[in-house]
Amino acid sequence: MNSIKIDPTWKKALKLEFQKPYWKELAEKVRYQYRTKKVYPKAANIFRAFDLCPLDQVKVVIIGQDPYHGANQANGLSFSVSDGIPFPPSLKNIFQEIQSDLKIIPLPSGDLTRWATQGVLMLNSVLTVLAGNPASHSGIGWEQFTDSVIQTLNAKRSHIVYLLWGKYAQNKGTVINKDQNLVLTSGHPSPYSASLFFNKHHFSQCNKYLVENGIEPIDWR
């Protein structure tokens, strides 16, 4: 337990999760993979989404699937890429929708740290991946862990906006209390389903809800 380097608010809230048998198996598998293979993101960034967005500061949750598997892309935040890396298609489409919805031009950086530090938890369902091998760490325990993260938020917090893009994220969010939070759903922003993502006005709806509940809105630039 003491060896887990994650923001203290999350460490306390997820204490029982870190004591479960599946977590021990997951941690051993992931450590072995980092020692013997190329894994993304860097080990220090596995819990970066949590470190940048403590439990008591979460305003918005964006659920992704697993990290980018290309060199230097994944930085621990769903949909985000490190500076200097070309925008993946999904991120291009997210920025396009922000521009259309809010009539603002997003900054020319794919590193979404600027959102995370405002209270946007950019949560991938699976937190690690083998280089060049998408979904390679699915089914080893990460999904159970991130399910518990959503359940923890649902139990301890309210008036959070959940952006659930695509069936995968929507299935992950079935436990969310829709009476106490705002749940917005659409197609995934990938090119395969972008027509079901565009023109849903999620970003303006999100900020409207936050303001109505006395919460500082997000600067989505």
Residues involved in catalysis:
66
Place of tokens 């009476």: 179
What does the alpha-carbon distance between residue 45 and residue 53 come to, in Å, rounded to a whole number? 13
Give the closest residue to 182 by CA, choosing from 10, 61, 52, 55: 61
CA end-to-end span of the chain: 37
**Which residues on adjacent β-strands are paired with residue 121?**
61
Residue pair 183/162 in contact (Cβ under 8 Å)? The answer is yes
Structure tokens at 37: 């293979």
On whether the CB atoms of residues 190 and 89 are closer than 8 A, the answer is: yes
Amino acid at 167: K
Nearest to 78 by CA among 136, 125, 27: 125
Exposed, middle or buried, 58 (CB in 10 Å: 0-12/13-18/19+)? buried
SS3 64: strand
Tokens 């977590």 map to which residue? 23
